[in-house]
Structure 1
Amino acid sequence: MSYLTLAGLQKRYRDSVAVDDVSLSVEQGESVALLGPSGCGKTTTLRMLAGLVDPDAGTIRLDGAEITRLPAHRRNMGYVFQSYALFPHLSVARNVGFGLEERRVGRAETGRRVEEALGMVRLSGLEGRRPRELSGGQQQRVALARALVIRPSVLLLDESLSNLDAKLRDAMRHEIRDIQRSLGITTLFVTHDQVEALTMCDRIAVMKRGRIEQIGTPEDIYERPATRFVADFVGRANVLPADRDAKGGISVWGVTLPARAPQGGEVDVFVRPQRVRLVPVSEPAGEGMVRLTGRVERSVFVGDHVEVIVAGTGGQLSVEMQSGARPPADGTEVAALWQARDTLVFPREAP
């Protein structure tokens, strides 16, 4: 039996379904992301797990015991809110130790554990400061220390990096992941940021309209998306309208692909820009390769890569080249090559 199990969780708000039959199993020490766009039900799921929202149906089990109707203060879960929710009139030490005071832990033990938690998040020496005297990153660390100091069974992070600037957010991803691994603490992390999910978690549950579309490792989610939504939401992808023949074969820009179409309806081909490379139009495809030809429309420097837009008979294809590589001049005829195994085919959605 898994350490944490959500089975058939449902939550409605009047006529709106926020969470629709969500089931998820998490092993002890595992870090799992709930990833999806705003309004997909990920935060509601986390709040039901924390005991802040009552589910309309379903069960939650932790370490073999059902906790579905257990009050939040008896679940022993550490929750880091998006806004951090620090008490502005309390010092850093009092903020971190608040949960221990509520649990009537002795003063000496509280002091020791607060000191330990602040050391863990690299805030030793700032015990006497107020939240307004801290940077955004330091406030985030205080909120994390407050969640960890109670030694929770499960750590819950709700969009907790979204208020930080890009550089600090990148650094905090690694810090939180290192702390999670060193403590071996079971963690659920809610985010709409695919980079956070891919870099911080052992598995990802991608959510759409209150349901889980796919659960898998970061590599599974990125390389083997189970649905069109997952392929489109996680990572960047070219979407190329495909034509279907009577035998189930498909073609793009007039080129037959070594892929089969799902049954019924029109389909689109997905291919990651990073998987495509540009070669002179005279170069053949080679075995197991897909080859489309077109003309370079423009190139854009994006910092860590150069994006090249190739226009063909059926639209545009985006190709990512390494930064420093010289892209073909605008107007150059080129061949775009990628491995056939990198071709993804999904039913076309109505506009």
Structure 2
Amino acid sequence: MSYLELSSLQKRYGNAVAVDDVSLSIERGESVALLGPSGCGKTTTLRMLAGLVAPDRGAISLDGTEITRLPPHRRNMGYVFQSYALFPHLSVARNIAFGLEERGVGKREITNRIEEALALVRLAGLGLRRPKELSGGQQQRVALARALVIQPSLLLLDESLSNLDAKLRDAMRHEIRSIQRSLGITTLFVTHDQVEALTMCDRIAVMHRGRVAQIGSAEDIYERPATRFVAEFVGRANVLPLARDGQGRATVWGQSLPVDAAADSDLFVRPQRMRIVPVSEPAGGDTARLTGRVLRSVYVGDHVEVLVEDGGHGQLTVEMPSGTAVPADGAEVAVVWARSESRIFAREAS
């Protein structure tokens, strides 16, 4: 049995199913992200794990013990809320000490643990300050220290970086990941941010409509999406409708492509896996190729997005590295990619 087991969890609110038959196995010391859009059930799953919401069905086991009906204070879990939930009238040290005082830890040990926690999150010397005297990043560190100081069996993070600006969020991603690895603490991290999930966790569980659509490593999720939803939600993709010509060959924009696809399917290709080449350059045996005209290009810093269209059939985007020659607007070009980069999914009903 894995360290943490979620078995067939379900939660309803009236007629709405928030979580529908979610099962997960997480190993000791592993960091796993619950990734998905708003309303997919990820936070409800986390709150059931913390004991803040009772499941209608299913079971939760931690380190071999079922905890499904245990109250939150008996689960020994550290929870970092999206809002941080710091007590504004208490100092940093008293905020961190709160969980220890509730557990009846002695004063001397509390003092020692607070000092260790402050050092761990790089806030040494700031124990006497109030939350309002701290920056957003420092408040986030206090919330993390408060969760870690109780030496939890499991660390739960609920969109805990969403209130930070982009640059600070980048820094905190690496800092939290470093702390998690150094402590070897099992962590479950709820986020809608793909970059956070891809960079902070050993595995990612992508949730959709209350279910786990796919779970795997960052590479598995990005390179080998198991469902249409995962392919669309994680990263960017060109979605090209497939049709059939008179000989039964798959076509896009009326041009034949060397792909195997059933009727009513769509072709998914990442923009950065495509290349723009001269129309005169033939496609190799393992290469797919479409021709079109450049509609426009947009400089985005580390790359240029080139929008290519074909008459009234549709458009696709190719990402080219900055500094490379970009074809002029209106130029006729060929777009090529390796056949292995193609992903085909059934078309959804409109």
In the superposition, the TM-score normalised over structure 2's length comes to 0.98
Structure 2 CA distance, aligned partners of 1:247 and 1:76? 64
The aligned counterpart of 1:46 is 46
- Distance (whole Å) between structure 2 residues aligned to residue 120 and residue 174 of structure 1: 14
Q: Show structure 2 runs of 5+ residues with no match.
A: none
Counterpart of 1:268? 266
Aligned partners of 1:312, 1:55: CA distance in 2, in Å? 51
Conservation of the 8 A alpha-carbon contact between 1:248 and 1:260 = no
Does 2:318 align with 1:296? no
Query: What is the distance in 1 between the residues matched to 2:245 and 2:32?
Result: 41
In structure 2, relative to structure 1, the CA distance for the partners of 1:246 and 1:97 (3 Å cut) is farther
Between 1:283-292 and 1:44-53, the stretch displaced more is 283-292
**Could you say what the CA RMSD is over the residues aligned between the two structures, in angstroms?**
1.2
CA distance in 1, matches of 2:199, 2:248: 38
**1:146-295 equivalent positions in 2, closer than 5 A:** 146-244=146-244, 249-262=249-262, 265-295=263-293
Q: Partner residue of 1:346?
A: 345
Aligned to 1:260, the other structure's residue is in SS state coil
**Paired position in structure 2 for 1:102:** 102
**More divergent stretch after superposition (250-259 vs 334-343):** 250-259
- Structural mapping, 1:128-139, within 5 Å: 128-139=128-139
Q: CA deviation at 1:284?
A: 1.2
- What amino acid sits opposite 2:320 in the alignment? M
Deviations 1:227-264 (CA, angstroms, capped at 9, x unpaired): 000000000000011103688752212333332225xx
Report the secondary structure of 1:258's partner residue: coil
* 1:22–1:212 Cα contact (<8 Å) kept: yes
Counting aligned pairs with the same residue, the percent is 76
Matched, 1:333 2:332: yes
Aligned counterparts of 2:113 and 2:247: Cα–Cα separation in 1: 68
Q: 2:123 maps to what in 1?
A: 123
Cα separation, 1, equivalents of 2:217 and 2:3: 18
Matched-pair contact (CA < 8 Å) for 1:244–1:266 = no
Q: CA–CA distance in 2 between the matches of 1:348 and 1:105?
A: 59
Q: Which segment is superposed worse, 324-333 or 123-132?
A: 324-333
Residue 326 of structure 1 aligns to a residue in which SS? Answer: coil
Q: Distance in 2 between matches of 1:207 and 1:41?
A: 7
> Does the Cα contact within 8 Å between 1:244 and 1:261 map onto a contact in 2?
no
Deviation at 1:324, TM superposition (A): 2.1
1:17 aligns with 2:12: no
Query: Could you tell me how far 1:302 is from its partner in structure 2?
Result: 1.1
CA contact (8 A) 1:239 1:271 kept: yes
Q: Structure 1 CA distance, aligned partners of 2:177 and 2:249?
A: 44
Q: Secondary structure at the match of 1:94?
A: helix
Tell me the CA shift for residue 325 of structure 1.
Answer: 2.0
Query: Any runs of at least 4 consecutive aligned residues in structure 1 with deviations exceeding 4 A, and if so which?
Result: 245-249
TM-score normalized with structure 1 length:
0.97
2: distance between equivalents of 1:119 and 1:324?
A: 43
AA of the residue aligned to 1:11? K
Partner Cα distance (1:123, 1:257) in 2: 58
Alpha-carbon distance between aligned partners in 2 of 1:247 and 1:346, rounded to the nearest angstrom: 22
Change (3 A) 1:185 1:249: farther
CA distance in 1, matches of 2:260, 2:278: 28
Name the amino acid aligned to 1:61.
S
Supply the distance in 2 between the matched residues of 1:51 and 1:247 (Cα, whole angstroms). Answer: 59
Q: 3-state SS of the aligned residue for 1:167?
A: helix
In 2 relative to 1, CA 249–107 (structure 1 residues): closer, same or farther, beyond 3 Å?
farther
Change (3 A) 1:50 1:125: same
